[in-house]
Amino acid sequence: QVESDSEDILIVYLSRTGNTEAVAEMIRDEVDGEMVELELETPYPEDYDAIVAQVARENETGYLPPLKTEIENIQDYETIFIGFPTWGMQLPPPMKSFLNEYDLSGKIVIPFNTNGGYGLGSSIRQIEELCPDSKILESFSVRGGLERDGIYLDIKGDRREEVRAEAVEWLRNIGMQ
């Protein structure tokens, strides 16, 4: 069992079409953490094919896009939820930038994810590599949108309540509730 006070909890997330943000809000509602969205100094293109190409290039070269988001007091947080969509079956480059820039040694790291139906890919392994000295708890992953097919925010309405129930159960299982 993990013990945490709400002031110790940070929820860092990346979300382009709102699905991962919806899950971040559910987590905040349950654990009362602080939410921070990752934003880039130079935002990605709006166009889907253009972002897919750019992300593929960044993954290939290992380029870490500079973040506009700054978290000054990260040392105050003991538990850090990290939320991201699956991009190219990997951890999105901005989340790689975040984990590269901030030292989460000794902290509890809890991944959560939305994807187009193909799962987490290699993202958890990448988190383990980027956070070698953190305690990484069991992750939560659900189907979100599928921008390729024109499905943007899908975690809304009845689906939002379904996902909320799953998220609450997961939080209970990992001792965060």
Ligand X SMILES: Cc1cc2nc3c(=O)[nH]c(=O)nc-3n(C[C@H](O)[C@H](O)[C@H](O)COP(=O)(O)O)c2cc1C
Quick check: helix, strand or coil at residue 47?
coil
* 8 vs 147 by CB, closer to ligand X: 147
The Cβ-side half-sphere exposure at 79, using a 13 Å CA radius, reads: 20
Choices 71-79, 93-101, 104-112, 144-152; region in contact with ligand X by CB under 6 A:
144-152
* Spatial distance between the Cα atoms of 84 and 95, rounded to a whole number of angstroms: 7
Cβ burial, residue 15 (10 Å; 0-12/13-18/19+)? buried
Binding characters for ligand X, 86-125, by CB under 6 A (x = yes): xxxx------------------------xxxxx-------
User: What values do phi and psi take at 41, rounded to 5?
Assistant: -60, -45
* Residue 45 binds ligand X (CB under 6 A): no
* Residue 156 binds ligand X (CB under 6 A): no
* 18 vs 78 by CB, closer to ligand X: 18
Of 30, 10, 135, 154, nearest in space to 83 by CA: 10
Choices 48-56, 99-107, 125-133, 169-177; region in contact with ligand X by CB under 6 A:
48-56
Which residues lie near ligand X (CB under 6 A)?
15-21, 51-52, 55, 85-89, 114-118, 144-147
